[in-house]
């Protein structure tokens, strides 16, 4: 037995995914047992390689990495996000290769085995498209039922989308998978644009962990392209690291104020495809409802991230 919560991160690194993995490794409340990868920001082979390298950067190449779905469940994802994250996903930074190899098991098998063998409930943080989680539900519902908490970065209740007018990237990348997950009854917290967009990591915050040592410096280098993009595109001196906020809620439950809502996903092929339709008319008691994050203290969340990342170099 351990008092650290077992954690799995399902991810598509991705600049903010890399930050989220580093945040988990810097946090004593959780024990990162497995990283599973999914198509998303860039192609599966590249995000899998990135996951290995980010773990190695933090001296944790012992954490297994299992590769998951290379494509969405039904309709191919129309476009990736290399223009935001860099063609190779880590903002143009080439991290040293890891000595570890990819776990031979498919992600869904590795995840099911971990869930079925863990004596404690496992938290799963899903910070890419939800294809792997939907496949787990279909292939091994007994294992899925053992998820203690599923914390998803995705969607938007009232902020519109960030990849189309209606849709947030992770949901838009596989709407059918998201719909299956949100209506499954899994104990899900949805961390969407409503709370991530106000949570801005400033260049001063980045400078604090960059000064802490080589890991912080690499994290800051990975972020630089994001910072440049935000400055050129929006004139802002900071970045939104969506996935790191979802990890904060996974690490410290209750960081975000949530309300139980019914959520469905637009799976039509029209302009609304990928939109999360969050029913805000009332609080739902239904077993299939999702805890939707509606309140955040941005300054506290950013301070948590910066101070934790600065600690990585002390380990």
Structure tokens that stand for 284 in this block: 């739902």
According to CB under 5 A, which one of 14, 154, 155, 205 is a site residue for Ca ion? 14
| Nearest alpha-carbon partner for 103 in 63, 138, 70 | 63
Binding partner of 174, given Ca ion, ligand BDR, none, CB within 5-8 angstroms per partner class: none
What does DSSP say about strands 188-191 and 30-37: parallel, antiparallel, or unpaired? unpaired
Q: What is the DSSP string of 158-175?
A: SS--SSSSS--HHHHH-H
Choose one: 24-32, 107-115, 117-125, 164-172; the region binding ligand BDR (CB under 6 A): 164-172
Rounded Cα–Cα distance for residues 115 and 252 (Å)? 20
Whichever of 86 and 205 has its CB closer to ligand BDR, that residue is 86
Residues 172-201 that bind ligand BDR (CB under 6 A): none
Note whether 171 and 155 are within 8 A (CB): yes
Residues 98-137 that bind ligand BDR (CB under 6 A): 127
Rounded Cα–Cα distance for residues 284 and 289 (Å)? 6
Is 16 a binding residue for ligand BDR by CB under 6 A? The answer is yes
Residues 243-262 that bind ligand BDR (CB under 6 A): 243
Task: 168-172: list long-range contacts, CB under 8 Å, 24+ apart.
Answer: 168/192, 168/193, 168/274, 168/276, 169/40, 169/81, 170/40, 170/127, 170/128, 170/129, 170/130, 171/129, 171/130, 171/265, 171/274, 171/275, 171/276, 172/273, 172/274
According to CB under 6 A, which one of 135, 153, 239, 289 is a site residue for ligand BDR? 153
Whichever of 197 and 277 has its CB closer to ligand BDR, that residue is 197
Least distance from C-beta 103 to Ca ion, angstroms? 20
Least distance from C-beta 2 to ligand BDR, angstroms? 28
CA distances to 47, 155, 197, 221, 254 from 87, rounded to whole Å, are 11, 24, 24, 15, 35
Residues 128-147 that bind Ca ion (CB under 5 A): 128
Whichever of 243 and 291 has its CB closer to Ca ion, that residue is 243
Choose one: 2-10, 98-106, 162-170, 198-206; the region binding ligand BDR (CB under 6 A): 162-170
| Nearest alpha-carbon partner for 55 in 28, 73, 34, 69 | 34
Q: Which residue has the tokens 């900071």?
A: 238
Is 68 a binding residue for ligand BDR by CB under 6 A? The answer is no
Least distance from C-beta 13 to Ca ion, angstroms? 7
Cα dihedral 78, 80, 83, 87 in deg (nearest 10) = -130
Active site residue: 39, 56, 85, 242, which one? Answer: 242
Whichever of 243 and 294 has its CB closer to ligand BDR, that residue is 243
Is 152 a binding residue for ligand BDR by CB under 6 A? The answer is no
85 is an active site residue? no
Least distance from C-beta 99 to ligand BDR, angstroms? 26
| Nearest alpha-carbon partner for 223 in 207, 246, 199, 247 | 207
Is 39 a binding residue for ligand BDR by CB under 6 A? The answer is no
Q: Who's near 265: CB < 8 A, 6+ residues apart?
A: 155, 171, 175, 176, 178, 179, 182, 274, 275, 276, 277
According to CB under 6 A, which one of 36, 132, 170, 248 is a site residue for ligand BDR? 170
Binding partner of 81, given ligand BDR, Ca ion, none, CB within 5-8 angstroms per partner class: ligand BDR
Q: List the catalytic residues.
A: 242
The binding site for ligand BDR (CB under 6 A) comprises 14, 16-17, 41, 81, 127, 153, 162, 168-170, 242-243
The binding site for Ca ion (CB under 5 A) comprises 12, 14, 17, 127-128, 243
């Amino acid at each position: 037995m351990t008092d650290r919560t077992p954690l799995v991160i399902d991810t598509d690194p991705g600049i903010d995914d890399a930050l989220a993995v580093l945040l988990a490794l810097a946090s004593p409340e959780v024990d990162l047992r497995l990283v599973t990868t999914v198509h998303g920001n860039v192609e599966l082979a590249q995000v899998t390689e990135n996951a290995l390298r980010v773990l190695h950067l933090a001296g944790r190449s012992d954490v297994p990495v299992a590769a998951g779905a290379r494509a969405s469940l039904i309709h191919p994802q129309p476009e990736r996000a290399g223009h935001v994250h860099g063609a190779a996903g880590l903002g143009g930074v080439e991290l040293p290769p890891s000595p570890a190899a990819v776990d031979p098991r498919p992600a869904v098998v590795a995840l099911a085995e971990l869930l079925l063998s863990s004596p404690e409930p496992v938290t799963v943080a899903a910070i890419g498209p939800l294809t792997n989680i939907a496949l787990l539900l279909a292939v091994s519902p007994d294992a899925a039922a053992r998820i203690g908490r599923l914390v998803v970065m995705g969607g938007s209740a009232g902020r519109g989308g960030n990849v189309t007018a209606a849709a947030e990237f992770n949901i838009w990348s596989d709407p059918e998978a998201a719909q299956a997950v949100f209506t499954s009854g899994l104990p899900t917290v949805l961390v969407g644009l409503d709370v991530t967009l106000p949570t801005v990591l400033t260049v001063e915050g980045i400078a604090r962990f960059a000064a802490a040592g080589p890991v912080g410096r690499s994290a800051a280098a990975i972020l630089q392209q994001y910072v440049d993009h935000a400055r050129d595109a929006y004139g802002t001196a900071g970045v939104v690291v969506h996935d790191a906020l979802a990890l904060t809620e996974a690490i410290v439950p209750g960081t975000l104020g949530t309300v139980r809502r019914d959520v469905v996903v637009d799976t039509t092929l029209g302009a609304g495809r990928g939109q999360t339709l969050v029913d805000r008319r009332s609080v739902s008691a239904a077993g299939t409802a999702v805890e939707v994050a509606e309140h955040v203290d941005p300054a506290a969340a950013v301070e948590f991230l910066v101070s934790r990342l600065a600690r990585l170099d002390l380990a």
